[in-house]
Amino acid sequence: MLKTLADNVFSFDVEWIPDPKSGEILHHTEPASGPGQEARAAFEALWAGARKESDPKDFQPYLKTILCRIVSLAGILREGLPGGRAS
């Protein structure tokens, strides 16, 4: 339970996907011109390179963010107003 809340609070979220260009460079996959099988092959190559030997073959491990592309960025700001109300 929150006992105190700062007057100003900023929160954000970033969503990313594997970057097909990373797969092309690191694993020599076909260039991907958009979503489709070429991009899927790059994703699979990146995931395969990050899996451990004990992981299932279809496991999608966390990839380092340097290998990913940002597809969504969202933020929200809550500011306290005089009188204690929130905007």
Pair of tokens at residue 48: 């395969």
pLDDT value at 60 more than 70: yes
Instruction: Say how many domains are in the chain.
Output: 1
Q: What is the C-alpha to C-alpha distance for residues 47 and 12, in angstroms, rounded to an integer?
A: 26
Q: Supply the range of the domain harboring residue 75.
A: 8-79
Q: Is the pLDDT of residue 5 over 80?
A: no
Q: Binning pLDDT at 50, 70 and 90, where does residue 87 land?
A: low
CA distance 72 to 5: 27
Average pLDDT, the chain: 88
| pLDDT tens profile 18-53 | 999 999 999 999 998 888 888 999 999 999 999 998
Residue 74 lies in a domain: yes
Question: In this structure, is residue 2 part of a structural domain?
Answer: no
Give the three-state DSSP class for 6: coil
Query: In this structure, is residue 87 part of a structural domain?
Result: no
Q: What is the mean pLDDT of residues 9-22?
A: 94
